[in-house]
Structure 1
Amino acid sequence: MDNISLLVIVTSISLFISLFLAFFLFSIKTKQKTSNALFAIFLILTAIDVSGPLLSLVVQKPSNLGMLRNTFAFLQIPVFYLYVLSVCYSDFKLKPKYLVHLLPFLIGNVILLPRFYSVNEVSKINFLQNRQSIFELQFNHILFHTQIVVYLIAVFMLLRKTKKLYLENYAGANINSYQWLFQFTTALTILYLIALVKNIFKFSEYEYISEGINSGLLIFQLFITCWYLLKALNNPGLFRNIDSKLKLVSDIILEDKDSESLAGNEKKQEDTLLKLKQFMIAEKPFLNPSLTIQDISNTIQIPTRELSILINHELDQHFYDFVNSYRIEHAMEILKDNTKSKVTILEILYEVGFNSKSSFNTAFKKHTGSTPTDYRKILYNNVL
């Protein structure tokens, strides 16, 4: 009885928070309407999936609607994948081709037509009571978990690619957002792994273990939802999307079949690099916290493709790190200036183009081997 009460309480809290956040995402005015709508749909599908303990108190008999509710789980991970796509790419739009993601959901329901959806109540009860030997239910569980593995791999590959694209083309602090989304996807992966273990026991002679795992699963799911809610409320402009037309430098180089022409442009590359460095020193574009490689390309009239190859390939340095090196050098000049000894580290990081203390500290230590605070102390001690 206590276990049932716990399930009902946790389910009720989880439903309330999920639906509240979904309403918030649908109602908030923002440029990321598609992203918000997709995650709201993901939350609603999650709410439907966890509502089982509450519905079982109201409806005791098996029904077509109850089985359809179970199969909605097939839609969760595809919607999450589309959400990640919309977050990563600024030009993302929902297209008819994305309807292909409905296939597992449709297949899962079609195979249930003959022996569940089309039969009477007694046959439905018998179908569920013998679930451990029912082919349709076993097939759906295998299909569901296979789908999860495929989509999660696709999401991690997408995040890896977009993070690299961001490093090669942007110099803002939003790289932390991709790291957070990677963490969130990792948490979801753990959640689905627990669900997999639960379902393995569900189709074994140790079904009671499955019920115990389900309680922990609901609590963990509630934790993930609350985590996202806090993140969304504290960081309404969490992500900065990139253009899906951008290509990785490695892909650009592969497209250049005429490798000899690349090798024969050393003089041109030297001139371009000199022009770029003079521009960075004279104009200090790195002070712009949202600087992109396109911004520099437009200003100094060098094609983005050529500039990207020069920095990311020839210099073997991401654009993100290239720009941050100038920011750190500028920060070091401020720290060495005795007239600015009272300027705080926080003020300096904003002045040189950073908008995140963690990003500034990481970049500073990578460039100098010490933190900004330690660097200032070393300078002070040397003066004494």
Structure 2
Amino acid sequence: MVFSGAQLMCFLGAVQALQLGIVALLRSEKPRANRWFAATVLLIGLLLAVAAPRFAVQPAEQPPYFWMHLWSSLSLLVSPLIYFYVRASVGVVRFRPVSLLHFLPATAHLSLLFPLVLMDAGTRAETVNFYMERELYRSIIPGLRIGAGLTFIYWIGCFWWVRRLEKHILATASFSDQRQIDWLKWFTSLLVVLLVMLALGRLLASDQVELVGVTCFALFLLILNISAMVRPELFHGIAADLQLPEPTPAETPKYEHSQLEQDEKQRIAQKCRDWFEREKPYLDEELTLARVSQALKVSRNELSQVLNETEASSFYDYVNDYRIAAAKGLLEDPTQDHLSIDGIALEVGFRSRSVFYTAFKKRTNTTPGAWRKQRGKIG
């Protein structure tokens, strides 16, 4: 049997998806998120396997209606799975009965096949031929159009949750997990582009667009596999200290209902400044709003409000301001010339060189190395 290049790409992608799905399921870190990730890539592999006959060297005049309809129905499941993967990655998410509504479009679309099952063989053949002659299998087109729309909506939903996570980190933690956040954005965006490309190829009856989409999917899965081997930490999920908590009324800041007077805000702000200057808690790379509020004996919401309104700063930036001030002192101190830039970053509480550089340049418009050299120090 001779396979076309496109079929080989479909099979390669399916194998890569199977391998990646098994690896994700075997990981002990963030099991809930990894299960959603595995379900997503395994479904993509199944879609590639189902699409392979379409690219045969000598394809049938028309693809079997059943397989085309099944492919379109299954494709409607990808976006919800991505959405639940992102939700499980950024924080606690419980799969409730109402969550099944996310899979209703795929179920409803698949149910359109049921009438064919109930028909006798002659009527079924007649009906399918009627669909095929008018290329109605492409419009499964309701399915493809609905799928493209849902993909865009879920993409917005995914980015909303990631953005909410970023705001939560700024408000409650002195450290970030930018690599994981960037990974979620990249993974989601690229999958959306590829899904839309396949949908357009089917809607426009363009084999070329479909072929490019299938090839890109296979390469995408290959890159994911390589990434899993080279940087397995990408699949560890957002650190537990940074994840969004289960929403509760007590954890929702509502400054408009706050009872804090201006004098009290100033008192808390001064108390916070005094404690930071005396105890230097910013040197702890895992400092959180919860720990500071506990030390100051004020609620997290009150402390967050004070920092936002009195200091005009998020907790993340507030702590980093102290870290940068400490870093400047080390960079300007000739007795600390033995410390490298990386050493100074770790010394003042930053987790990595890149985060230190970004924060330093944001506040000084120059790099740490340039700051040291400008004062006659050896870099």
Fold match (TM-score > 0.5):
yes
The verdict on how the C-alpha distance between 1:252 and 1:326 changes in structure 2, with shifts beyond 3 A counting, is same
| Cα separation, 1, equivalents of 2:90 and 2:118 | 39
Aligned to 1:205: none
| Cα separation, 1, equivalents of 2:372 and 2:167 | 32
The verdict on how the C-alpha distance between 1:247 and 1:226 changes in structure 2, with shifts beyond 3 A counting, is farther
Out of 298, 305, 327, the position equivalent to 2:323 is 327
Cα deviation for residue 106 of structure 1 reads: 1.3
User: So what's the TM-score if we normalise by structure 2?
Assistant: 0.87
CA distances 1:100-135 after superposition (whole Å, capped 9, x unpaired): 111101110122322477564734751552353469
Cα deviation for residue 283 of structure 1 reads: 1.6
Cα deviation for residue 232 of structure 1 reads: 4.2
* 8 Å Cα contact 2:47-2:74 kept in structure 1: yes
| Cα separation, 2, equivalents of 1:266 and 1:112 | 66
Cα deviation for residue 152 of structure 1 reads: 1.4
| Cα separation, 2, equivalents of 1:67 and 1:197 | 16
* 8 Å Cα contact 2:65-2:137 kept in structure 1: no
| Cα separation, 1, equivalents of 2:359 and 2:119 | 63
| Cα separation, 2, equivalents of 1:125 and 1:364 | 66
The verdict on how the C-alpha distance between 1:119 and 1:348 changes in structure 2, with shifts beyond 3 A counting, is farther
Q: Secondary structure of the equivalent of 1:72? A: helix
Aligned to 1:149: 152
Instruction: Give the partner amino acid of 1:194.
Output: M
1:80 aligns with 2:72: no
Count of residue pairs brought into register by the alignment? 366
* 8 Å Cα contact 1:165-1:248 kept in structure 2: no
Cα deviation for residue 315 of structure 1 reads: 2.1
Cα deviation for residue 314 of structure 1 reads: 3.0
Structure 2 unaligned regions, length at least 5: none
Matches within 5 A, 1:213-252: 213-233=209-229, 234=231, 235=233, 236-240=235-239, 241-245=243-247, 252=254
Instruction: Give the partner amino acid of 2:333.
Output: D
Instruction: Give the partner amino acid of 2:23.
Output: F
Aligned to 1:6: 5
Cα deviation for residue 189 of structure 1 reads: 2.7
Cα deviation for residue 93 of structure 1 reads: 2.5
The verdict on how the C-alpha distance between 1:346 and 1:124 changes in structure 2, with shifts beyond 3 A counting, is farther
| Cα separation, 2, equivalents of 1:125 and 1:145 | 25
Out of 161, 165, 176, the position equivalent to 1:162 is 165
1:195 aligns with 2:198: yes
Aligned to 1:113: 114
Aligned to 1:43: 41
| Cα separation, 1, equivalents of 2:169 and 2:250 | 10
Matches within 5 A, 1:27-42: 27-30=26-29, 32-42=30-40
The verdict on how the C-alpha distance between 1:231 and 1:284 changes in structure 2, with shifts beyond 3 A counting, is farther
Q: Secondary structure of the equivalent of 2:375? A: helix
CA distances 1:35-89 after superposition (whole Å, capped 9, x unpaired): 0000000001111111134355699773756643441111111011011011111
